[in-house]
Structure 1
């Protein structure tokens, strides 16, 4: 495994040297035993990697950011943030998720078996609550992890047409949240309801200097189509998140792609659109973050390498300079 990792680093290093400045690639999270020989030098358990895997992860030449997804489900204790910080080099920035308790418009609980109406839907009184967001996420992040606090991802879970707020009401709530959100952090919004992807939504983000997360997700258009509505250059940074091919089922692809040590289903169109987005950002002198999930193509670190190689080639073809 150690020899395989040396070879992987040898492949990745010259690619990293040819990338445009300000571009960071990473994975949605890091605790996957199947990455032995790709990111890690030996076989380790999920628990071990979750505890101290970042130390080796951050040595990979192409992995210069990472997602902290667990903050979506519960606050991250200060002790865990401090442990992560000890494993990361100076300047390494992480993309953390804002909590589900603040980002979801409704809560859905499964109905009783005899209840033919399906899940019980309850409105979330804390949807886009600045006070709850600050207590659960912003304050710990800025206190224990400030040096490594990259963009905060405001991922809006899908709730369906019957449960979502009308567009004007949603935009009003989003506008108020972004107006009052704690300073000292950068924000990116990821939509999972395509009805909200409109010029009016783009204008709310532009007014606050907030990025749109160009997503690769089962119910959303491809990243290139999203960039037609929300221009790449309208925010001070770019975030791309590759999670799941549109139209696919998360659990089915998770089972099909495990143990995430090979590319199972490459998507050339998606890759080409991501390359175009990050090269447009680089040409404008805008930093970019690209996070990849295993469910995008089968192995997120290998997708990162493939994307990075294509970006390096495209950037060289453009002359390798910002405008």
Structure 2
């Protein structure tokens, strides 16, 4: 694949991958090194739940080869609990420890849930908070913002992201725009890189499985819709960081294999 197309999974630590991706008997402590021998990027889900310690981040760096890239989520204390209000201390602590990854540090994602009308009747209060937070983030890093309310993807949001060099996360999610609809907009690519997340329908998948060791939904057609969009993004000179979740089709590694076959077959 194109070296500017970095495709990985949202986490490497699923115990059910032992025996289907990781060799049987692989200790969890060795999962990352094995993963990094086969894929060149990962999205760290664990940072959403807490800020990692220095020793943990150092271990991530040491167990991966040169050129490997970690994307990571901002902690939920910032994006969910405090909802961008008075969280400068948490942002600073998170960025400081993640900087220990050095040149292996990739995009950092501000992931927001779908907001009900009683939380934000319209996008303005949310965007007011986001504008303050983005203005306070140190430069020299890559940031992405994920929203799930379609109404939030307005001119103000896209202008705000563009001014700050922040990517709008392009997501495959049942509540969000399809990629073909998004790419018809001329202003949706707001940074010098693109950030893609294949999320799927979490509730529907969990009705079918809670083990993430096999594909239970055929998403070939859905993935195929992404191929032209990603080629267009690459043609514009951007690097793409894309991550498959287990909830997309039941098994993130299987989804990556399917995507690679589609990509190779479309070229």
Could you tell me which residue of structure 1 aligns to residue 8 of structure 2?
A: 26
Could you tell me which residue of structure 2 aligns to residue 309 of structure 1?
A: 261
Could you tell me which residue of structure 1 aligns to residue 34 of structure 2?
A: 56
- Are residues 128 and 297 of structure 1, via their aligned partners in 2, closer, same or farther at CA, if it must alter by over 3 Å? farther
**Local SS of the residue matching 2:177:** coil
Could you tell me which residue of structure 1 aligns to residue 95 of structure 2?
A: 138
Q: Any conservation in 1 of the 2:40–2:67 contact (CA below 8 Å)?
A: no
Task: Give the unaligned 5+ runs of structure 1.
Answer: 1-18, 108-123, 317-323
CA distance in 1, matches of 2:122, 2:16: 43
1:214 Cα deviation from its structure 2 partner = 0.7
1:181 Cα deviation from its structure 2 partner = 0.5
**Residues 181-227 of structure 1: CA deviation (Å, up to 9, x unaligned):** 12221001010222202232112111111111111224222233333
Could you tell me which residue of structure 2 aligns to residue 187 of structure 1?
A: 143
Could you tell me which residue of structure 2 aligns to residue 211 of structure 1?
A: 167
- Are residues 216 and 43 of structure 1, via their aligned partners in 2, closer, same or farther at CA, if it must alter by over 3 Å? farther
CA distance in 2, matches of 1:290, 1:38: 22
Could you tell me which residue of structure 2 aligns to residue 266 of structure 1?
A: 218
**Residues 135-190 of structure 1: CA deviation (Å, up to 9, x unaligned):** 2x111111x22232100011012231111263223222222222221222100101
Which of 166, 172, 181 does residue 122 from structure 2 map onto?
Answer: 166
**Residues 52-107 of structure 1: CA deviation (Å, up to 9, x unaligned):** 311000111xx211011111111111111111111101121111000111112xx4
- TM-score, length-normalised on structure 2? 0.91
Which deviates more, 144-153 or 259-268? 259-268
Mapping of residues 1-323 of structure 1, within 5 Å? 19-44=1-26, 48-49=27-28, 51-60=29-38, 63-104=39-80, 107=81, 124=82, 126-127=84-85, 129-135=87-93, 137-142=94-99, 144-164=100-120, 166-229=122-185, 231=187, 233-245=189-201, 250-254=202-206, 256-314=208-266, 316=267
Report the number of matched residues: 267
**Local SS of the residue matching 1:75:** coil
1:132 Cα deviation from its structure 2 partner = 2.4
CA distance in 1, matches of 2:25, 2:227: 32
Q: Any conservation in 1 of the 2:84–2:129 contact (CA below 8 Å)?
A: no
- Are residues 145 and 166 of structure 1, via their aligned partners in 2, closer, same or farther at CA, if it must alter by over 3 Å? same
Could you tell me which residue of structure 2 aligns to residue 320 of structure 1?
A: none
